[in-house]
A and B are shown apart, each in its own frame.
Chain A
Amino acid sequence: EPEVTQTPSHQVTQMGQEVILRCVPISNHLYFYWYRQILGQKVEFLVSFYNNEISEKSEIFDDQFSVERPDGSNFTLKIRSTKLEDSAMYFCASRTGISNTGELFFGEGSRLTVL
């Protein structure tokens, strides 16, 4: 069964360092998302991406964050200068473009620990 894959599964970094989290969405999907979950808290929307551009972003997604689809398969989330409060599980998700009501499929997540 097709699935969303994410790498790395866990990354530890020092405050101020740049981090890139990678996702390979399901191959025929057209809409891509990043969500995050701080330990013990709700899953929160960060950004959605369609047709090679950001279609929506939350207030969390500030200038320190960027997303890119560098080739036909990868979808990346970059954090330019990590802060302690960026420590969280980051989830990538994708869905088809068939309708606006399509199901989102999530990856296993990338756990980011900022020291």
Chain B
Amino acid sequence: KQEVTQIPAALSVPEGENLVLNCSFTDSAIYNLQWFRQDPGKGLTSLLLIQSSQREQTSGRLNASLDKSSGRSTLYIAASQPGDSATYLCAVRIPNYGGSQGNLIFGKGTKLSVKP
């Protein structure tokens, strides 16, 4: 059974610092991996999607990497800002062995706090 783990559970950094969030998964049979941002009491905002054949994706100050064989992904945030404070969720898309669908398995998230 696929398990997704995110370390650390919480992280507090001063503004301007570069940081890395970690995600690991137990089964390398994935379609893709998505990183999401969740503000308190709010929905899930997709940040980056990495297909299983890709190694990394970049969007602005965000860079996500994927090492499928070792079951790891990292989200790198450059020059962090107080507005980056949120919970960051990692999710892997797994095949549905009974059909063509596949659903997302989520980690518990890393709660990031960026201090001004």
A residues neighboring B (CB under 8 Å): 6, 31, 33, 35, 41-45, 48, 50, 55-56, 58, 89, 91, 100-101, 103-109, 111
Bound Cα distance from A17 to B31, whole angstroms? 38
Contact of B100 among A44, A100, A105, A108 (CB under 8 A): A100
Comparing B15-23, B58-66, B77-85, B105-113, the segment that makes contact with chain A is B105-113
**What are 13 pairs between A and B in contact, CB < 8 Å?**
A42-B107, A43-B104, A43-B106, A44-B106, A56-B96, A56-B103, A58-B103, A100-B100, A100-B102, A101-B32, A101-B93, A104-B46, A106-B36
Taken together as a complex, chains A and B put the C-alpha atoms of A89 and B40 apart, in Å, by 12
B69 at the A/B interface (Cβ < 8 Å)? no
Q: Is the interface of A mostly helix, strand, loop or mixed?
A: strand
Q: Are A106 and B100 in contact (CB under 8 A)?
A: no
Docked complex Cα distance between A31 and B99 (Å) = 13
Contact: B43 with A91, CB < 8 Å? yes
Which chain A positions have C-beta within 8 A of B31?
Answer: 100-101
